[in-house]
A and B are shown apart, each in its own frame.
Chain A
C-alpha cells in the first residue's frame, strides 16, 4: 500500500450518502487533483461514522480532525486551508450546543469520548469495500488463530467464559447456544446471521454491515468452525439495499482471498455464506420465522419447545446469531476472555446469565442533540448515554421518556435515568435491551399516542397465526384509539392491563409475548397522562388531535401575518373564515381537527388548547 501524508475519511453510511456525501467525496478528489496533492492525500469512503446527526462528515487522518455538515462549496476552501497550508478550518468543526467553542479533534467530542468500540472497532477507519483495509486492521487474524491453533471445544469454552450474550435482544448466552448446536444430532448444520433489523429506530446492524462487513463474516467463520457447519446464511432485510450490496462485495473478496470457501487457510475447513433477502415482514426477525423465510415459505413462527439449535433450518441443527454478536466474536478471540469480562456488570464465571459483559451498540434517535450510533460499556447509566454522549434534548425542552427495545420494549421515565443499562435491569424496569434502539421523547410527545403507535405497528406486523396476538393486540389498539379520541373510560385502563397479560401469557412467539410492553410501561410510569385523556378529555402534549381545540390568535394573525389567508385556503373543511389583512377565525362546529392550519401557519398564530 502506498503511504499518504493525509487521508480524508468521508462517511458513506446511508445517512450521509442521502446527504450527498458521495458528491462531497468527488469534490474532495477534484480539488486535491487540482492542487497537485493527489500523491500526498487520499480520499477514502468509510462506513457509518455514527454521528449521523452531523452528516455529511469527513475526518482528516492521522490528526483526527472532524468536519461536519459539509457542503460542496466548502470543499475548495477546506482543501486549500487544511490540506495545502496545514490550517484546520474551525467554522466547519463541531460546536457543542451549550459551549460555543469549536472542537477540532474527533476524540475530544463528547459524543465519541464516552464510547468504547468493540463491535464497531473499525468504524470510520476502513473502506468497507476493500478487504485489504480490514486485514490491515488485524482482520481475519482471529479466524486464522481459531482455525490453525484451536479446537472447536476450546472456542466454545472461550465464548462461554467471556459471558457474551445475544445482542439481538434475547440476551441468550452465545457460548451455551453454540455448545447445544455442536452437540445436536444431524447433518448438515447451518449458521445464520440475523440481519433483519426490524425494530423501528434501530440501525446498529445496518451500520455494522455497511461499515465493516468482514467483521461479521469473520465471526461467522469462527462460529461455523465451533459448531461444525459448512454452510451459512445472512438474512438481510429488504429495506437495507446498501448493506446487501456491501455484503456481496465482501463475500466475493473473502472467497477470492481463500478466507471463505473450500480450504480456508489451507486447513481443509470448508465454509461458505449466501445472502437471503427479507421481504418486509417484521416477524421474520424471530428466529423460527426467519428460517421459514429462508426456506422460501411464509414467515410464521412456530412453538419453540423444539429448539432451533436441534431442529432449525430444514429441520437441521442451526446456530443463529445477530449481526452485532457475530461482529464481536473476533474481538473476543484476539483480546481474550479477561479483557472482555473486565467490561460490564455482574459475574459470569459461575452462571452465564449472571451478568452483562462487554459493550453494546445503541442507536440514539428522536428528540436528542447527537443522533447517531454509540457503543458503550454495559452498566453505563441511561443518563450518561442520553446527556453525556447524546448531548441531551434539543431546544431546551424537558426530557420525558426513553424508549428502549423497540416494539417489544418499553418507555422509561425520567426517574429511571440512573438505571444501569444491562439485560436484567432493563427487564426489571419493564422494558428490555432489545436490539439496541433508543428513542428519546420530550414534553411534546404524548405517551398514550406513542403506546398506540407501537401497538399499531405490532398489530400490523402480527403474522396472524395465533389468536392472542392477532386479536388481542387489535382489541388493545381499539381501546387506545378510544382513549385518544376522548371516549375512554376509567374501566378501559383495567381492561387494557388485563388484556396485556393475556396476550403476553398466551402468544406463540416473542412478538405477541412482548407487544403489550409499551402499553404496560406507559401505564406504569405515565398513568396520569392516560387519566387526563379520559377524565379531562385533554392531551397535555397536544398530540391527540381529536382532543385539541384550534383557535387563531387575532393579534398575531394581523400584526405578523397580515391575514395572509394561507390557512383559509388550505383548510379541507372550509372551517376558517376571514379576509386579507384582517384576523381569521375557526368555525369550531365545522373543524375536523386535522391540524393543517397549524402546519401551514408561518406566524404561529394558530393556537392549540
Chain B
C-alpha cells in the first residue's frame, strides 16, 4: 500500500500534441481517487503513465515515495483492470489470475491460497476452471479484478472498467468495486467518463479537461461548490442551467436581470461576495433540481417567475420541463403531480440559496 504523487506531469505526443499539461496530484494511502472528464481530457494518459505503459515526457510520478519514471510496469507493483478486461483467452480463470504470480515464481500453494481468497471476495469460486469465453460480461469484470487483487499490489488502476457493461450490471459492479475497496483498502486510481460513477465511488474526484485538472475534491464539494463552469456543468445530471444575466445593484440589494424581463433577487448573505461584480454581465448557474414548482413550505430566498414550457419529459419520479429564454435552454425538475402542459404558463420557484455566478470570460465561479 502506498501513496501516489504526480508532480508537474507532462505528456507530449508526436507533433507536439500535449495530452497532459503539467498536473500535480497527491493521492493518499488507501484513498480511492477517480479521474473523470470527457474523452481526450488526458485522464487515460495519466493513468497509463502511472502504470508505466506510456513514457513520461516531463515531471515525476512517485509510488510509495519512490520515483518510478524509469521503472518498467512489472517492477512498479501495480495492477490494472482494463476496459475490455484483457483476459488471456486461452487460460482458465484460475490461470488468468495466477499468471502474474507464476511469472514472479510464487510457490504453488501460495498462488492457490491467494487465488482462492480473491475468488471468495469476488464470489467467483465456481468459475475458476472456465475459459473467459464462457463467462458473462459481469463475470469477466470480476475475474479482471481478481487478477488485480491476487497480486496484492501497492496501487490498483482501473481504466473505464464498467463501460462495456449494460446499464443494470454497471450499477451492480459499481457497488461491487466499492465493496472490494472497503475490504482490501488498496490505494486506487480509477478513470471514467461517467460522472455518476465518479461521484458514487470516489473518496476524492479529480475533474480533468484539456490536459489539466479543473478541480479536486470530495464528491459533495464538487457538487455544491464547483470552482469552474466546466465542473459546474460536468457534475450533476441533468446538467446545470447557465443563463446569461446582468448583476445590478439597486438600493443595497443585488438583483439578477435575466432575459425576457425576469428579475431575481440575490440572497442578502451573498451581497458581500458578489458586490464587486455589480454591473457586469455574468452567467447565472442553477441546477434543474433547484428550479421547481412552488411549494407551501418554501423558505427564504425563493424567487418565482412564469415560463411557458416547450418540452415536457415525464420520468416517473419527476418530470423534466424545458423552456427557452432568448435561445438559452433551461430545464426544471418538477414533482410529477404538478400539472404541466406545453404552452400553458407555469410558475417556477428558483432556490437562490443554491445559485452560482460565473464570469463568462474566465469561466470561473465568482
Q: Do the two shown chains form a genuine complex with each other?
A: no
Chain B interface residues toward A at CB < 8 A: none
Chain A interface residues toward B at CB < 8 A: none
